[in-house]
Amino acid sequence: MKASELKAKSVADLHNELLSLTKAQFGMRMQLATQQMTNTSELRKVRRDVARIKTVLTEKGAQK
């Protein structure tokens, strides 16, 4: 997911996306801990997407 795509979304959409990604991240962490995860690069991608969303939310909050 690119930052330009995130900037086009509303704050409510970003919060919903953040919630779903954090739930997915938790599930992936549990899979990793129980050694059920086969593609560990997905965890890195989700973590970076969460950081991008948080950055865009901070930017939108600073604009007000």
Q: Tell me if 30 sits within 8 A of 22, measured CB to CB.
A: no
**In this structure, is residue 48 part of a structural domain?**
yes
At what angle are helices 41-63 and 11-33 packed, to 10 degrees?
150
The CATH number of whichever domain residue 23 belongs to comes to 1.10.287
Residue 24 pLDDT more than 90? yes
Residue 63 pLDDT more than 90? no
Over range 28-42, report the average pLDDT: 94
Total-model pTM:
0.89
**In this structure, is residue 34 part of a structural domain?**
yes
Residues 19, 24, 29, 33, CA torsion sign = positive
**In this structure, is residue 25 part of a structural domain?**
yes
Q: Which range of residues forms the domain containing residue 8? A: 3-58
How many domains does the structure of the chain reveal? 1
pLDDT computed for residue 64 by the predictor: 66
